[in-house]
Amino acid sequence: MKAVRFHETGGPEVLRYEEADDPVPGAGEVRIRVAGSAFNPADGGLRGGVLPIPITLPHVPGYDVSGTVDALGDGVEGLTMGQEVIGFIPMTGDGGAAQFVVAPAEAFVAAPTSIPLEDAAGLPSVGLTAWQALFEAGRLQAGQRVLINGAGGPVGGYAVQLAKRAGAHVVATVSPRSVEAVTAHGADELVDHTTSDVLDALTEPVDVLLNLAPITPERFVALAARVRDGGVVVSTTPRVPTPGDEQRQVRAETVFVHPDAEVLTELVSLVDAGALRVEIAGRVPLSELPELHRRAEAGQAYGKMVIVPPAL
């Protein structure tokens, strides 16, 4: 099969588009004929050797996958040959930047039927991150106010949609290129961080602060001060400490996305019901994945990109 792999950690130049052996599913595993895999910033972290996640070299990146069940390992139940599925697969194993991928069967759920199968690869980890940040860590409820800092990114798009659907009042920070999309997602208030300071724009405290953007510790503490007593600060940026305030009973929660087939199935249902939009910025042939890594490293990749392998 064709795959993109790295045989050593380093910059984008270590990625190779090459031939690799077709993987064989073991007990409890399935093989997927890949329709699409999504690029995530963590792919660059794994390639660069800066994430504390053990991998075996050579390694195929791409832990968000969509495709068709191609082979079943012993003991697999609940999936059938030819079924279209999506999954957030273990980052320790080979990923979906290839024509085939093998992963545990429990990582996969039925794919949405209302969007192209390759585009559905853009849903799993970012959709789960948004859900887990808002509802597991943030315990967001109808009628509450939530500030989503970094609403224009892939996780932010889902977070705005899910928070609004839950009945929250959504304040979202955006850049000019994301204003249209975040408005369409239903945000109640938009703050363009390139022209305004959200600290000045907030008219009243929020119950939940969700940070999805790079931020300095000092800025994060200042934003956290705008969370009402008993509220929560949630962050997906672990390199900066998440600030709380014990005296005001403001919790601090740092989110590391984890697999959840039940929630992923719910997200798929929302997509097919027209209640959740999957937005893909573009599709990239598998052979051009190294160039996408180079663009991302240079800060020139925006939105969710899906990598499409060549036809068999």
82-110 confidence digits (pLDDT tens): 999 999 999 999 999 999 999 999 999 99
Higher pLDDT, 199 or 89: 89
Residue 273 falls within a domain, yes or no?
no
The CATH number that applies at residue 191 is 3.40.50.720
Query: Could you tell me if 76 and 149 lie in one domain?
Result: no
Query: Could you tell me if 134 and 57 lie in one domain?
Result: no
How far, in Å, CA of 158 to CA of 131, rounded?
A: 8
Q: How many domains does one find in the chain?
A: 2
Residue 267 falls within a domain, yes or no?
no
Average pLDDT value for residue range 135-143? 98
Residue 271 falls within a domain, yes or no?
no
Query: Could you tell me if 172 and 285 lie in one domain?
Result: no
Domain extent at residue 6: 2-123+278-308
Residue 259 falls within a domain, yes or no?
no
The answer to whether the pTM exceeds 0.85 is yes
Q: State residue 95's pLDDT score.
A: 97
- Residue 97, Cα to own-chain centre: how many angstroms? 16
Residue 49 falls within a domain, yes or no?
yes
Query: Could you tell me if 26 and 57 lie in one domain?
Result: yes
Query: Could you tell me if 242 and 170 lie in one domain?
Result: yes
How far, in Å, CA of 208 to CA of 224, rounded?
A: 9
Query: Could you tell me if 119 and 130 lie in one domain?
Result: no
Q: State residue 17's pLDDT score.
A: 98
Residue 209 falls within a domain, yes or no?
yes
- Give the tens place of pLDDT for each residue, 221-280: 999 999 999 999 999 998 899 999 999 999 999 999 999 999 999 999 999 999 999 999
How far, in Å, CA of 157 to CA of 126, rounded?
A: 9
Query: Could you tell me if 204 and 238 lie in one domain?
Result: yes
Q: Please name every residue paired with 5 in a beta bridge, in sequence order, or none if there are none.
A: 16
Residue 143 falls within a domain, yes or no?
yes
Residue 292 falls within a domain, yes or no?
yes
Query: Could you tell me if 283 and 206 lie in one domain?
Result: no
The answer to whether 198 touches 204, Cβ cutoff 8 Å, is: no
